[in-house]
Amino acid sequence: MEYEKELEIGVRVVQLACCLCQKIQKGSFGPNPDLVVSKLDDSPVTVADWSVQAMISWILSESFGRENVSIVAEEDTQTLSDVKSTSLLASVVTTVNESLAMAPRFGLNGPTAPLEASEVLDAISRCNSSGGPVGRHWVLDPVDGTLGFVRGGQYAVALALIENGRVVVGVLGCPNYSSKRKLVNNSSAPKSDLWQEGCVMYTKRGSGQAWMQPLVCGDGTLEWPNSASVIQVSSIDNPVMATFCEPVEKANSNHSYSAGIAYSLGLRKQPLRVYSMVKYAAIARGDAEIYMKFAKAGYKEKIWDHAAGVVIVEEAGGVVTDAGGRPLDFSKGVYLEGLDRGIVACSGVNLHEKIIGAVYASWDSSHL
């Protein structure tokens, strides 16, 4: 079946990446003095971001052949290659090798010998494709919601496959989003039972279904083949009963504008503020009905922040568009070019039409 192998490898490698992230947070790979570093744009990046990108890049190249694999991903090697970053690079190399050593437990082939620093850097910098309308491109956000990762809140590992400009496969690993428990505001997993708390969601375009697995990590009580359950969006379509979620950071989305939309629709509940693409996961699983993000004018959304989440929400029965009601365009390269004002994801068409209508009615008086 089409994309069967891509989905299979994608789910396994995201499971492994979630395990890597959890082990970094537990300090299992040794002390991490340089856990958080600022990028040139002042946004945070950690050993986890680079290590996940390197590990996934290496596994995809091994599984599909280096020459066939094009990857569009968030991180580059600029900071890591700096002579002042030798201990940082050493931490990344250790982490990548420790995680690749666990690959067989996830049904994946690891390297025969540990990777050298140059090979790790090479795996990271190979992810410099800019995507576009033709061919197959993997899209990777190694750690989405780095702030959430650093603060012990929600974060995600997001991997998608785009073919000829359309997202065809989506895999979203959510290490702190329990497959059994509902999402709560700004939630972080209780530190005592991190193992197997998280989940991985995934789908294939056109399947009309999305699935969720618990994380396979830690003590090895869960092994391949892992069990999966079908997830579905919420059936609530009355705004009074609906929960909406949005970014935690005011800098990333206009909270007062979304509050105005929520008020005009009669939404009664407090917004669920959650880091990362876990917001899409919450819609897909039925823990929330609406996700709104209105970034500042001039900010261009990147495809890796949305690709996996969008296809999972859509296949689980939801609707995702820009604030003008048009589908997101993944065919234009690294950015969601032409995005009209913001992003609106809903569990169903009724709520979605109401939100888009409210945006339309209120826009003149807003100051984004």
Candidates 46, 95, 146, 243; catalytic one: 146
| Residue 74 binds Mg ion, judged by CB under 5 A | yes
Is residue 49 flagged as an active site residue? yes
> What one-character-per-residue DSSP string does 13-26 give?
HHHHHHHHHHHHHH
| Residue 141 binds Mg ion, judged by CB under 5 A | yes
Expressed in percent and rounded to 5, the helix, strand and coil fractions of the chain are 40, 20, 45
Of the pair 139, 161, the CB lying nearest Mg ion is at 139
Candidates 49, 77, 287, 321; catalytic one: 49
Nearest approach, Cβ of 56 to ligand PPS (angstroms)?
A: 14
Q: Which of 326, 280, 27, 258 is nearest to 155 (CA)?
A: 280
Near ligand PPS by CB under 6 A, which window of 15-23, 87-95, 121-129, 246-254?
A: 246-254
Is residue 146 flagged as an active site residue? yes
Nearest approach, Cβ of 193 to Mg ion (angstroms)?
A: 26
Q: Binds 248, which of ligand PPS, Mg ion, none (CB < 5 to 8 A, cut-off by type)?
A: ligand PPS
304: left (phi over 0), alpha (psi -120 to 50) or beta: alpha
| Residue 160 binds Mg ion, judged by CB under 5 A | no
Among 249, 270, 353, 361, interactor with ligand PPS by CB under 6 A: 249
Contacts with ligand PPS, 296-315, as mask; x by CB under 6 A: x--x--x--x----------
Among 146, 176, 213, 234, interactor with ligand PPS by CB under 6 A: 146
17: phi then psi, degrees, rounded to nearest 5: -65, -40
Q: Which of 63, 102, 309, 331 is nearest to 216 (CA)?
A: 102
| Residue 335 binds ligand PPS, judged by CB under 6 A | no
Of 199-258, binders to Mg ion (CB under 5 A) are none
Among 58, 202, 244, 275, interactor with ligand PPS by CB under 6 A: 275
Beta-sheet strand order (sheet of 156-163): 71-73, 136-144, 156-163, 166-174, 199-204, 210-214, 229-231
**Any binding-site annotation on 197?**
no
Q: Is the dihedral of CA 256, 353, 234, 296 positive or negative?
A: negative
Nearest approach, Cβ of 209 to ligand PPS (angstroms)?
A: 26
**Any binding-site annotation on 141?**
yes
Of the pair 115, 262, the CB lying nearest ligand PPS is at 262
Of the pair 193, 340, the CB lying nearest ligand PPS is at 340
Contact 303, 334 (CB under 8 A): yes
| Residue 289 binds Mg ion, judged by CB under 5 A | no
Q: Binds 39, which of ligand PPS, Mg ion, none (CB < 5 to 8 A, cut-off by type)?
A: none
Contact 266, 162 (CB under 8 A): no
CA separation (Å) from 277 to 125, 251, 282? 24, 16, 9
Tokens for 329, please give them.
């365009």
Q: Residue 181: CA atoms inside 13 Å, Cβ hemisphere, count?
A: 17
Terminal-residue alpha carbon distance, the chain: 45
Tokens for 357, please give them.
């209508």
Tokens for 220, please give them.
């090895």
Among 98, 144, 197, 246, interactor with Mg ion by CB under 5 A: 144
* Residue ranges that bind ligand PPS, judged by CB under 6 A: 43, 74, 141, 144-147, 247-249, 251-252, 275-276, 293, 295-296, 299, 302, 305
* Residue ranges that bind Mg ion, judged by CB under 5 A: 43, 74, 141, 143-144, 146, 305
Active-site residue numbers? 49, 146
Which residues contribute to the annotated binding site for Mg(2+)?
74, 141, 144, 305
